[in-house]
Amino acid sequence: MGAVMLSVAGLEVTFRRSGDTVRAVRGVSFDVGRGESFGIVGESGSGKSTVLRAICGLAPTSAGTIGLKGATLSAPRQADFYRAVQMVFQDPYASLHPRHTIDSVLSEPLAIHGFDSPEQRIEQALTEVGLGPEFRFRYPHQLSGGQRQRVAVARALILEPEVLLLDEPTSALDASIQAEVLNLLDRLRSERGLTYIMVSHDLAVVAHMCDRLMVMQNGLAVEELTRSALSAHQATTDYTRKLLSASEGYTKADAP
């Protein structure tokens, strides 16, 4: 592992809803090296997405620190944080503004951060994610789910970040489209030397995409293991083993 890109130490996230306190994340720590691809696996309610949201400042941290390239991040995040860290959301049907054309989706971040030659950058971003320039002036409703997710990836990459946070980027897509988007993400990472943190409920997707992964349950980190350990089924906790066997498909044999 090279230099540490992003480090999370003792992260806690607590939500208060009408008197109830929900401890969504309860003391999670991990480091992600530069150029590494790190996965977080868990079921719904495990707090895996909340970790991502806390990193980019969308969820409040009640304890712990998050550091980027050795510097502890402040809340609210500064403008240069958004240049360095971007996110792709789970549902491409919800993450694109229904009244904005692809053109305005892509030109807005450029305008916010004062990038030069926006025309070229937009064309290039579209080409990179495998959409031609003919998509530029379409509205999201004129695109399929996979195309929308490509736009979301283009939007995240147009600010040339170093870290990409991926929140279940393919779980709303068909398996065949999932393969295309995963390949795209894989290619972009090797071309640009990006650092990924990917959250998913699908062990197979994380095993395919990530060098190292962390399993979460009920807001706690249960286990951290490498890809090779996972594919050799060398899980140390019962929960991870249960997840592993469940993701292999249904087995009639172990019916009671």
Partner 1 sequence: MTPLLTVKDLRITFPTRQGETEVVRGVSFTLGRERLGIVGESGSGKSQTGRAILGLTPPPGRATAEVLNFDGTDLRHASPATWRKLRGARMSMVMQDPKFSLNPVMTIGKQLMEALKFGASESRAQARVRALAMLEAVQIRDPERVFRAYPHELSGGMGQRAMIAMMLVTEPDLLIADEPTSALDVTVQIEVLRILDRLVTDRGMGLIFISHDLRLVSSFCDRVLVMYAGQVVEELAARDLAKAQHPYTRGLMNCLPKIAGGQRPLPTLERDAAWAR
Partner 2 sequence: MTEVSRRDWLLSDRPASRRQAKLGQAYRTWLSFRTNWLAMVGLAIVVALIVVAVFADVIAPYDPVIGGDLRTERFLPPLTDGHLLGTDDLSRDIFSRIVHGSRLTLMVVVLVAVIATPIGLLVGTSAGYFGGWVDTVLMRLTDIFLAFPRLILALAFVAALGPGIENAIIAIAITSWPPYARLARAETLTIRDSDFINAARLQGASSARILWGHVTPLCLSSVIIRVTLDMAGIILTAAGLGFLGLGAQPPQPEWGAMIASGRRFIIDQWWVATMPGIAIFIVSLGFNLLGDGLRDVLDPKARK
Q: At closest approach, how far in Å is the CB of 25 from partner 2?
A: 18
Distance CA 166, CA 179 (A): 15
Residues 51-90 contacting partner 2, CB under 8 A? 56, 58, 79, 82-83, 86-87, 89-90
Distance CA 127, CA 131 (A): 5
Residue type (1 letter), 196:
Y
Distance CA 195, CA 206 (A): 14
- Contact call for residue 97 and partner 2 (CB under 8 A): yes
Which residue's CB is nearer to partner 1, number 78 or number 226? 226
**Residue span binding partner 1 (CB under 8 A) among the ranges 49-57, 76-84, 118-126, 241-249:** 241-249
Candidates 178, 188, 199, 215; binder of partner 1 (CB under 8 A) is 178
Query: What DSSP line would sit under 50-107, residue for residue?
Result: HHHHHHTTSS--SEEEEEETTEEPPSSPPHHHHHHEEEE-S-TTTSS-TTS-HHHHHH
Candidates 7, 14, 101, 247; binder of partner 2 (CB under 8 A) is 101
Q: At closest approach, how far in Å is the CB of 64 from partner 2?
A: 20
**Residue span binding partner 2 (CB under 8 A) among the ranges 97-105, 172-180, 211-219, 235-243:** 97-105
Q: Is the dihedral of CA 233, 221, 202, 127 positive or negative?
A: negative
CB neighbour burial string for 33-62, b if at least 16 within 10 angstroms, e if fewer: bbbbbbbbbbeeebbbbbbbbbbbbebebb
- Contact call for residue 101 and partner 1 (CB under 8 A): no
- The answer to whether the CB of 133 falls within 8 A of the CB of 127 is yes
**What would the two tokens of residue 252 be?**
């009639």
Candidates 152, 197, 206, 214; binder of partner 2 (CB under 8 A) is 152
Binding site for partner 1 (CB under 8 A): 43-44, 145, 174-180, 182-183, 186-187, 201-205, 207-209, 227, 230-231, 242-244, 246-252, 255
Binding site for partner 2 (CB under 8 A): 56, 58, 79, 82-83, 86-87, 89-91, 94-101, 103, 108-109, 112-113, 134-135, 137-139, 142, 152, 155, 159
